[in-house]
Amino acid sequence: MSNATLDDPTGPSHQDTTLEDSQNAWDHSPANPFNWSEKKKWSIAALVALVALLIGLNATSVTTPSLVIAKEFHVSDHHFTHSYWPVIVWNTGAAFGPMVILPLLENFGLKNGYLALYTLFTLLVIPQALAPNFATLLVSRTLAGVSGGILQNSFEQVAGDLWPIDRERNMSITLSTFVYVAGVTLGPVLGSMVAVLSWRWIFYVQLITLCVLFPVLLAIMKETRGPIILSQLARTDDSLAKACTELPQLPLNKLLYEAVARPAHLLFTEPVIFSLTLWSAFCFGLVFIMTQSIAQVYSTNYAFSDPASGLVQISLFVGECFGFAACLPQNNYYLRSAARNTVEPGVPIPEARLPLSVPSSLVGLAGGLFWYGWASFPHVHWIVPTIGLALVGFAIMVIMTAVDMYITDSYTKFAGSAISAVALGENLFAAWLPLATRSMYTNLGFQWASSVLGFVALALTLAPIVLVWKGQKVRDKSPFINEAKYSREISSA
């Protein structure tokens, strides 16, 4: 803005600029994240994905040496699986931390909060590595779960900030789910490779990696929240002032309601969210169940050591890689469904997210669990049950991606709260469901314990089958979906 403009009262000002002109100026501004180059967008997205992967490693890498840690700190598993507490507290923190903090980052800016949380998480690895007692380990891991959970769940927020169109955003959200699941899957693999030195070296390796990555993060990470960038620019650019005044300003109490109360309300009043959360949370919980089950099955049947059992987790990861690849044509099928949408012409049908997930749940999840269970005999080569685990990994990736995207498409205006509800269920299942693993596999036997999980998987598959069949009618009965649909119609009018 020139000095002449400041001195001349007849010069252009933001009063002369219409809202439409101001919004148009922002829409075409090079500062708008939607207009950044693909190279810049993917540099940020890839970095956030790498961080999410490293966070997941911290969540589960401690499972491989859990008995060694318990022995060192004189913790007994005789009456309760106390050695699993480091994982329980991490996931419990990850369940509740993002619900409160992520909405604040949305409203006050992502970059500074993200860097602060990354620094906090890195510092919290130090007491995990140097813990003199079990209590110190648990406290530091609880706080690491809170900060780490927020960092993990930031990926989808970043993707939404950078790509406005489904076709562009699909790949990034699929990648988000992949790194979210792959990180916790590969944690025991890291533990098995490093624990031969000392269980403390598991955390030393993570600390070194996080410190090396920090300057890269400082150099590449940018503020991605468009409204925050707009408000900053509007202070010095009158042409953007009116667009900035149109931004919604939520009071703190309303912000906290949307962050905490609304996800809980959606979870227990919306049948779609409740049923799909159970399905997705069961899948995510299975990753953590397998950290216990694999060690028990392979040490008993094949005399695998704890580090060798940890390496078996790679089979789940291989399945997840194939699942990631399978999600890409599924995304294209979803986009093509817009041509046959008679209710909202030109808009892809949410149920088109689900067709691949149904056979994946029946054959991959349930079938893989039955395969894994009934191949778990000493006389059967260890590779046979391992193939069953790969099928389970494939299904987990496909299902969690389908749930995430279906809920985002259906609840549009309330997608953030709906996804928070799902994430809450996933982390609580991951924290507490595996506690029953050792006793279940001991009391029922390897075959029937896995079969019980397989039958649960079969029952949960009913939810996507109903949605594929009658999804439109189910969505029409939801007040939240109808309000989101109405808001979308108004905004496009």
Reading the block at residue 20, the tokens are 């439409």
Euclidean distance between CA atoms 158 and 53, whole angstroms: 15
Segment 23-57, tens digit of pLDDT: 777 778 888 898 999 999 999 999 999 999 999 99
Gap between the Cα atoms of 284 and 406, Å rounded: 17
- Provide the pLDDT for residue 242: 63
Please state, in angstroms and rounded to a whole number, the distance separating the CA atoms of residues 32 and 162.
Answer: 9
DSSP letter for 350, please: G
Confirm if 59 and 152 have CB atoms less than 8 A apart: no
Is the pLDDT confidence value at 289 over 80?
Answer: yes
pLDDT at 244: 66
Q: How many C-beta neighbours within 10 Å does residue 285 have? A: 24
Whether pLDDT at 413 is above 60: yes
The confidence band for 16, taking pLDDT boundaries of 50, 70 and 90, is: low
Does residue 234 have a pLDDT over 80?
no
- In sequence order, which ranges of 238-374 are alpha helices (DSSP H)? 241-245, 252-256, 262-269, 271-302, 306-311, 314-336, 357-359, 367-374
Contacts of 368 (CB under 8 A, 6+ apart): 319, 388, 389, 390, 391, 392, 394, 395
C-alpha distances out from residue 166 to 30, 100, 162, 236, 277, Å: 21, 27, 11, 33, 22
**In angstroms, rounded to a whole number, what is the distance separating the alpha carbons of residues 153 and 173?**
11
pLDDT band at residue 475, thresholds of 50, 70 and 90? confident
- Number of Cβ atoms within 10 Å of the Cβ of 442: 12
pLDDT tens string 158-172:
888 898 766 777 888
pLDDT digits over 207-222, tens only?
999 999 999 999 999 9
Residue 448 structure tokens: 């029937």
pLDDT of residue 9: 43
User: pLDDT at residue 347 above 60?
Assistant: yes
Would you say 400 and 181 are in contact if contact means Cβ atoms under 8 Å apart? yes
